[in-house]
Each structure stands twice: as C-alpha cells, then as structure tokens.
Structure 1
C-alpha cells in the first residue's frame, strides 16, 4: 500500500523544476483496485470507493473467472465485490492523459438468472453502460447458464484538470450494481 500511495503522490505533481529547467512528470501509472477485496501483489486493496457494501463469493460456488476477459486478472480478485450504489474517485492520475478503464464483473448471487440485477455505470458523468445485466450479457456471449462467468468491459477516459476519474455504479431497473475489480491503464499514443 505504501508503494501505491507513493506512486499516486508522484503522479499528482504536475512538474518538477530542477536548476531552472522544467522536468516533465513521470509517465502515467496503472491503477488497479480489488473492489471489495484485500488486493494482491498486482491490485491494491479496495481503495477510493464510497457507498455500497462488500461481498465474497461462497467457496463452494464454481466460477470461470477470466472468461471473456481481454486482460485477465488473478482469479481471487473475481471472488470479492462491491455492490449497491457506489462511486470510485481515483486520484493521482495525469491530467490530459487518456486511460483505458477496465471494469470486471461476475454475479454469483443470482445463480445464472438473467434480469435480476440490471444497473448503469457512468465514467466522469457519462453513462457507459445502460441497463447492464452481467448474467444476460454472459449468456448472450455464449456462457452456459450464465452462472459465475467473469466479464470485462473496457472504456476510454481522458483525465481532467483535477487528476481524477470518477466511476459511478448506479441502481437501475432491478436490484443493485456490482463490480469486482477496476483497472485504469494509460493509453500510449
């Protein structure tokens, strides 16, 4: 966690002045968050989130964690989540930089039943997912039963002057939103 905070502090600085010369800030860094979980060597513990509650997948429930994930993450990260309406305000990002926002979803609670959890997601105030149903999406992509299949959804965000990106998980038509992990990865030109 200490390294994670140090990286955020470094990225928050816009420029350094050394001996009268301006030195550009460090390259934008990736921010990985284990939503609802303790993190691991590659993902920070649940950070920057407000609202909602955390949950853990029952040990006996099977899962295909990185099914349809373009950017696989460690399996144990899929087994925790933050659910109910919540927001993540990720600080320390490079103003003006473009990041790929990777959201990871797995719904073990409704045991393969579509239409039980339908919600919206907004990034910096713009809806990027409307009426999103994790299980129905998995079934539409070919999941057998849609039960405990991990999905990844990727979006692009340009960081404003504040150096933050805000991700809102918004209650929709049915039940509450849920997310398992979040990654913000700099897009290289």
Structure 2
C-alpha cells in the first residue's frame, strides 16, 4: 500500500497508469519519472526501476540543463540532478496495446567529463534504439564546452507499447563503463 499511496500523491491518472489499472489515452498527461529521485508536482518518484544504483549530483559539479542544442523539452533542474547508473530497467504499464508514444530520455553525466568515457546501449521492448550512446560525446558534438560543465542531453524516440500495453526500457552496459539515465518521459504521440 505504501507504493500506491506515493503514486496517488503524485496524481491519480499517473498512479493508475503505472499500476496498470488504466490505459493511457491521447488526452491524458504524459508519464514522467524522476529517475533516482523523489519526484515533484509533475514527475513521479523513482520507485519502480530495477537494477543499478541511484545517485545525486554533487553540489560542486557545474551543470547546464537547458542547452537548447541538446534539450528540446526542458524539465526542472532538480529532476536532472538525480540518476540511476549501472544496468537497469524501467517498465511503464497500463498503456494502450500497440499505441504509439514519444519516449524522452534525459541524460546528464557529472562523473565522466570527456567523450568516450561512458558508452552504452538502450533497448525498448527488446529492440536496440540507442547504440554506443555517449552522453558527453553527444553534448560536445552539439557544441558544449565539456569538461568544465556537464550538459543535459535529451533523446526522443518513437516507441510502440507491446500487446500487453507495456513499454520496457533497458539500459545496457556498452563499450565503456556503465549506463546512466536521469529522467524518463512517455508522451502520447500526437
């Protein structure tokens, strides 16, 4: 009951969605998860990710989370400042079977400072959607001046819920070190 209470505090529609008791329709709000964090008025707390470890950005690390070249849909700074690293998975349930959604993944690497130090893969429902993804490398390629500041990177992907109305996201160890993610949003396709 503790998990249910926390979801209801975050919003009944989102609670029903994550508990698998109500399908998401195009008229409903997006599902947004504060990975590694306690959530806020718009982001649900991270209480259903599996695997990996959670982390919080140290106060002495500089971050630019609204870099318009890499972030199309800004989110609150405090949501960027928590993360889950190592191999992990998230399951968003209660979706419309076969429904199309935009999956927004948010990444901010405050630990590694140069391209090539963290390279990993992301699978959605068993299909590789990001291969050899490098958070710092993506920011630098867009004009960021790492290593002095960590830059937020958003990756938007069109995904389809499986026949059970589930979108499963797996963060998979790649060529260098471990995966990391800071926030997840699933928005009904327009």
Give the structure-1-normalised TM-score: 0.87
Structure 1 contact 28–93 (Cα < 8 Å) conserved: no
Matches within 5 A, 1:15-26: none
Measured after TM superposition, the shift of residue 4 of structure 1 is 4.8
Query: What's 1:22 paired with?
Result: none
Instruction: Return structure 1 stretches of 4+ with deviation > 3 angstroms.
Output: 3-6, 10-14, 25-29
Q: Pick one of 151, 162, 172 that aligns with 1:149.
A: 151
Which has more radius of gyration? 1
Residue 114 of structure 2: aligned partner: 113
* Structure 2 unpaired stretches of 5+: 1-6
For 2:78 and 2:26, the matched residues in 1 are separated by: 31
Number of matched residues? 177
Q: Which runs of 5+ in 1 are unaligned?
A: 15-24
Question: Which whole-Å deviations, capped at 9, do the CAs of 1:118-138 have from their partners, x for residues lacking one?
Answer: 100011111111111111111
Aligned partners of 2:160, 2:111: CA distance in 1, in Å?
Answer: 33
Q: Distance in 1 between matches of 2:97 and 2:58?
A: 40
The residue number in structure 1 matching 2:16 is 9
Root-mean-square deviation (CA), in Å?
1.9
Three-state SS of the structure 2 residue aligned to 1:50 is coil
